[in-house]
Amino acid sequence: MNIFRLTADMTHLMSVIVLLLKIHTIKSCAGISLKTQELYAIVFTCRYLDIFTDFISFYNTIMKVIFLWTSFSIVWYMRYHKIVRRSYDKDQDTFRHVFLMLPCLVLALLINERFTFKEVMWTFSFYLEAVAILPQLVLLQRTRNIDNLTGQYIFLLGAYRALYILNWIYRYVTEPNYVHWIPWMSGLVQTLLYGDFFYYYFLSWKNNVKLQLPA
Interaction site with other proteins (CB under 8 A):
5, 9, 12, 50, 54, 56-57, 60, 63-64, 67, 113-114, 122, 164, 167, 175, 177-180, 182-183
Looking at residue 116, what DSSP letter applies? S
Rounded to a whole number of angstroms, the minimum distance from the CB of residue 165 to other proteins is 12
Rounded to a whole number of angstroms, the minimum distance from the CB of residue 195 to other proteins is 22
Of residues 118 and 142, the one with the C-beta less far from other proteins = 118
Rounded to a whole number of angstroms, the minimum distance from the CB of residue 197 to other proteins is 22
Q: Which of 15, 1, 49, 2 is nearest to 161 (CA)?
A: 15
Rg of the chain on CA atoms, in Å: 17
Q: Which of 49, 137, 51 is nearest to 95 (CA)?
A: 137
Q: How far is CA 21 from the centre of its chain?
A: 17
Rounded to a whole number of angstroms, the minimum distance from the CB of residue 112 to other proteins is 12
Phi-psi region of 112 (alpha: psi -120 to 50; beta: other; left: phi over 0): beta
Of residues 67 and 197, the one with the C-beta less far from other proteins = 67
Please provide the size of the chain in residues.
215
Give the type of residue at 126.
F
Q: Which of 163, 159, 160 is nearest to 4 (CA)?
A: 163
Rounded distance, CA 14 to CA 19, Å?
Answer: 9
Of residues 60 and 212, the one with the C-beta less far from other proteins = 60
Of residues 116 and 145, the one with the C-beta less far from other proteins = 116
Of residues 26 and 183, the one with the C-beta less far from other proteins = 183
Rounded to a whole number of angstroms, the minimum distance from the CB of residue 211 to other proteins is 28
